[in-house]
Every structure is written in C-alpha cells, then in structure tokens.
Amino acid sequence: MEREAVSAGSINCRDWVLKLCSLDKHGLVSGLSNGKIDVIPFGQTEKHTEINAHGGAVNSVRKVDENSFCSCSNDGIVKIWDLRSPEGNNCVAAMEGVNNLPFVSLDARDTLVGAGTELKGDSHLFIWDRRRLSVPFKQFTECHQDDITEVRFHPTRRNMLLSGSTDGYVNVYDLKAEKEEDALLQVINFASVHSANFLPNDKLYTLSHMETFSVHSLIDTTTEESVESDPVDYGDIRDKWSCEYVVDLYAPGYICCGSNSTKQLRLYQFDPEKVAFDGLSTNSDYISLPGAHGDDIVRDMVIHHGVIYTGGEDGLVKIWNVSGNMLGDTSSRFFGQEAGSKSHHHHKHTQKKPIKAIEAEDGHIHHSKRHKGQDGSAKPRHHHHNHHHHHSHKSSRFMPYSRE
C-alpha cells in the first residue's frame, strides 16, 4: 500500500547536500560540498546555523552523542564538533590523516571514530579513540587498493568494524588484534561498494555502485574452522525495487530509492530479521515522496520524530510529513532495534586468519563508477575497465565534483 508524504517546506543550503545526521537537542546536521556544515533546528525552515567547517567538500557527518557530531572532508581532516560550545568555536578536535588524502567515509561508535580515505598511492583506514586523539588507535594501510567508501562499527560488538571500497571488497576486522594482518576476520569480494552495514542475526548487506545487492553471513569466530556460507545475491535490484538508484539502507529498517526520470523517491520498510528483499515494490507498503528533488540525485535521508528529511544535489533539504503510523527514527544504531537497546549476542573472537574471498557472480570486480560534475557531465575516475556495463550509474555519494 502506498502512503504519500506531503512536502512541509525546504531549506536552501546553496550547495550539494552530501550527508545528513540528527541530534535530538540541536537539529539536523547537513554536510555540504562547499565545505560548510548547516545545523537546522527541527521545525525551522528560516533560520539555521552555518559553520565554515572544512576546506573541501564535507563527505560525511555522523552523530557522536546527543550534543556532538563528527565530519570528514576532501581537505584530509576529520573533525569533532560540540554544539554546546559558543558559535564559531564548536570544533573540539581535528585529526589529520596522511599526505592530505581526502576522507570519504566516516562512522562513530562509543569512543571510537573511524574514517577511510581516497586512494593516492595507498588508501588508509584510520580509527581514533576520542579519549586519546594524539595518535590513531589503529591505522590500516594494506586493507584496500582503492577509495574506502564505507566504514561501519558493529552496533553491539565494540571491537568489530567493516570497511568497503571501490576495489570491490568488504572487510571485517577485529580491532583487538595488534597487527593489521591479524585484524582481518573476513573478506567479501563483491563489487564497487556504495554502502555496507551490519544486520541482525550475524548478517551484513552490501550495495554496489551498479545497484547490485547481497546479504552475507558473518563467519563464526568462535571456531577454528570457519566455513563461509554463500551470500543471498539479489543482483541488480532496480527493477525489483522500482527505482533507478538506491540512496541507502537505514536502521531500524528502511530502504530509500530514487528515480530521476520520474522525479520520485520511495521509502520501503523491511524486516531486518528476515532476509527478504525481493519484490519490495509490489509486495510491500511504501511511502512515496512525490517530486523528490526533481532531476537531481538524493544523497541522504533522515527520519526524526516521524518527520522525513531529504538532502540532494539541488542544494535543498526538504521536509516531509506522513500521516498514519509513526515512523521510527533513523538515528537507531541497529537494524530492527531502537538506539540504546542491547543485543543478546556475545561472541569470543579467537580466529584471526583471513578467510577465502568470495568471487563475485561474474568473476570480476567492478570499478566502473562515474561521477557527475557540477555541469551534470559524467567524469571518469582514475580506475578503468576494458569491459562495459550497459546501465546508468548514479554519481558516487562522496565525490560531489572534480576539482582537478
């Protein structure tokens, strides 16, 4: 059954809105391609605070706690902000990577902040502990051979982290391990990674820049012999989900899909306890956001107290109201559970051996991501393939435009 959202206004952020997060006490935080961060109080469309945050595009913002968030940028710096501080002085920490490598992915959990860089020589995965920011808690340099487009901490296992890259791999790590080679618990060979995250019941999903989607099982780290089960591979999900691109999956259980040609955005609700992602467009209730952001790509979505917020490449944050059942907040840390609830899983990590990678269905790794410039033209990146994919790609969420 379709429920139609009603537009309740918009905020003009004057440049591409790349990422959103919400802080209950302060409002909606939006990272922009011009290096600024806008903080928009809930219920407001007129006044908002503009922070001159970075010297390059703000590729991600993530909630740290009720009063603070972190950001990462093309300027090669990760910052932590506390909105209780006086305006203009809210940056409480700034962590630099190496060689000014742009940071393109970010996550935060408890005291840890993790961020991944673009590839220039090497790509780096940094993890900092906010209690001691002078040096990184961990720094991985051998884990990926291309841009690290995704970083996610496990919501209940403090020492588990995943990363995804345009090199086609998703890696799962044990952060208790001293050495990088010992930290690698699992390697999944998939395709150029747009998004990946942990699901309940020891699962994780992977979503590619070619709009292919799979659900994988985490290996059992309590046994010496680790047998990896085959993933549930849904292939290209654009027909199944009636869309042209997937914005992302969101806890506690939403899939946000867009179609530029029809100026539509759809929000599907799914049960994360069940691996059942086929036929969402025909078998499921969904919320439609008519008009969406017009011809422009939607980069992110937040639900806060039943209100939907979307950010797009048109420079707008749009506000949507939906009648009927209350929607769960996307600030939930765990699919299927509200933020703050505890999982009943307890695992002992004993095995540290990297396991055999799973081959992608067509036997190769895809890198055919292309990026739209500000003029709308596709700009190829530094990796190329000799084969061709005959379908369109959304511009990657972390490269707003080329500054070369």
SS3 of 48-64: the string is: CEEEECCCCCEEEEEEC
319: β partners: 309
Give me the mean pLDDT over the 271-279 stretch.
Answer: 85
- Banded model confidence at residue 285, pLDDT cuts 50, 70, 90: confident
Nearest Cα to Cα of residue 74 among 133, 127, 120, 29: 120
- 186-233 pLDDT, tens digit per residue, is 999 999 999 999 999 999 999 999 999 999 999 987 776 667 788 999
Nearest Cα to Cα of residue 58 among 68, 50, 66: 50
- 93-134 pLDDT, tens digit per residue, is 999 999 999 999 999 999 999 999 999 989 999 999 999 999
SS3 of the chain: the string is: CEEECEEEEEEECCCCEEEEEEECCCEEEEEECCCEEEEECCCCCCCCEEEECCCCCEEEEEECCCCEEEEEECCCEEEEEECCCCCCCCEEEEEECCCCCCEEEEEEECCEEEEEECCECECCEEEEECCECCCCCEEECCCCCCCEEEEEECCCCCCEEEEEECCCEEEEEECCCCCHHHHEEEEEECCCEEEEEEECCCEEEEEECCCEEEEEECCCCCCCCCCCCCCEEEEECCCCCCCCEEEEEECCCEEEEEECCCCEEEEEECCCCCCCCCCHHHHCCEEECCCCCCCCCEEEEEEECCEEEEEECCCEEEEEECCCCCCCCCCCCECCECCCCCCCCCCCCCCCCCCCCCCCCCCCCCCCCEEECCCCCEEECCCCCCCCCCCCCCCCCCCCCCCC
Residue carrying structure tokens 């509200």? 338
For residue 340, pLDDT beyond 60: no
Nearest Cα to Cα of residue 188 among 355, 362, 347, 351: 355
Give me the mean pLDDT over the 230-255 stretch.
Answer: 95
Residue 224 has a pLDDT of 66
The model's pTM:
0.84
Residue 226 has a pLDDT of 65
For residue 383, pLDDT beyond 50: no
Residue 183 has a pLDDT of 96
Taking a C-beta distance cutoff of 8 angstroms, is the pair 401, 59 a contact? no
Residue 234: phi and psi, rounded to 5, are -95, -5
Pairing of strands 148-153, 160-165: antiparallel
For the beta carbon of residue 20, count every other beta carbon within 10 angstroms.
23
Nearest Cα to Cα of residue 330 among 197, 158, 164: 197
Sheet holding 6-12, edge to edge: 6-12, 316-321, 307-312, 298-304
The CATH topology of domain 2-380 is: Methylamine Dehydrogenase; Chain H (2.130.10)
Residue carrying structure tokens 């150029």? 192
Give me the mean pLDDT over the 233-253 stretch.
Answer: 95
- 123-173 pLDDT, tens digit per residue, is 999 999 999 999 999 999 999 999 999 999 999 998 999 999 999 999 999
Q: Quote the tokens at residue 282.
A: 């025909």
Sketch the domain layout of the chain as residue ranges. Answer: 2-380
To the nearest 10°, report the CA torsion of 16, 21, 27, 30.
-20
Residue 84 has a pLDDT of 93
- Banded model confidence at residue 279, pLDDT cuts 50, 70, 90: confident
* Chain mean pLDDT for the chain: 84
- 385-399 pLDDT, tens digit per residue, is 333 333 333 444 444
Q: pLDDT > 90: what percent of the chain?
A: 69
Residue 403 has a pLDDT of 36
For residue 278, pLDDT beyond 60: yes
Q: Quote the tokens at residue 41.
A: 């109080």
Residue carrying structure tokens 């673009």? 118
- Banded model confidence at residue 333, pLDDT cuts 50, 70, 90: confident
30: β partners: 20, 38
Give me the mean pLDDT over the 2-17 stretch.
Answer: 95
- Of the two residues 382 and 319, the one the predictor is more confident about is 319
Query: Taking the mean position of all CA atoms in its chain, how far away is CA 164?
Result: 10
Q: How far apart, in whole angstroms, are the C-alpha atoms of residue 249 and residue 245?
A: 12
